[in-house]
Amino acid sequence: MHRPSLFVRQVRSAAAPVKAPSFPTPATSPHEGTLLATTCIASLEERAGIAMTLTRSQLHLGGRLPGAAFLAPFVLAALASCSGAPTRQVHPESAEPPAPNRGDIVRIAKTFVGTPYRAGGTSRKGVDCSGLVIAVYSEFDIRLPRTSVDQSRVGEHVDRSGLKPADLLFFKTTRKNPVSHVGIYIGGGKFVHASTSERRVRIDALNDDYYKHRFTVARRIVDG
């Protein structure tokens, strides 16, 4: 008796099941592995013109992908193209960041013009004179002391005739302290500072009678 249907079932049952390919786990943390897999899947979708929906557990490289037998060539191509792409940039510990540009410091300082004066403030919501200096220089990862007196003790002493943009200017505006005010020189005989009388950040001339007679010292924080 001829039983073609039984023969087909027997052949199919004897056939080895198709296993989805597994991929070697990279020497990275699970988070980084998941990120790499996600990136590769995006590449796969672009290359194969298909969309894939994966659960979190399936995003690990050791997991099985839906329809892997069909998608294996695309997956391998995608993995090969993205396996060498770095997920983050690593800098040697010994490498020092480039020195900030004076022009960039001046540019940032000018963006504070109009900011309200606020005693103890160090942000764009409000600053005092030394707080302005801290806020501007912190944009370049330079940490300075909190008060104008302490700031006048750091950096290199500069003569008034040798001023450069981004130098700090210090003034004696009270009888009590030798230094009680600070501003940032921006070139052209002008400086930006948080004025207590005007209650805001503004630009004034160093040769203004008030500041000319109260100027005490200048300090250079940035070389060059």
- Could you list the active site residues? 129, 181, 193
Nearest to 74 by CA among 112, 114, 47, 34: 47
Task: Label residue 72 exposed, middle or buried (CB < 10 Å: 0-12, 13-18, 19+).
Answer: middle
Q: How far is CA 91 from the centre of its chain?
A: 14
Q: What is the spatial distance between Cα 73 and Cα 206, in angstroms, rounded to a whole number? A: 71
Q: What is the spatial distance between Cα 178 and Cα 156, in angstroms, rounded to a whole number? A: 18
Q: In what order do the strands lie in the sheet containing 168-171?
A: 156-158, 215-220, 168-171, 181-187, 190-195, 200-205
Task: Label residue 86 exposed, middle or buried (CB < 10 Å: 0-12, 13-18, 19+).
Answer: exposed
**What's the half-sphere exposure (Cβ side, CA atoms, 13 Å) at 175?**
0
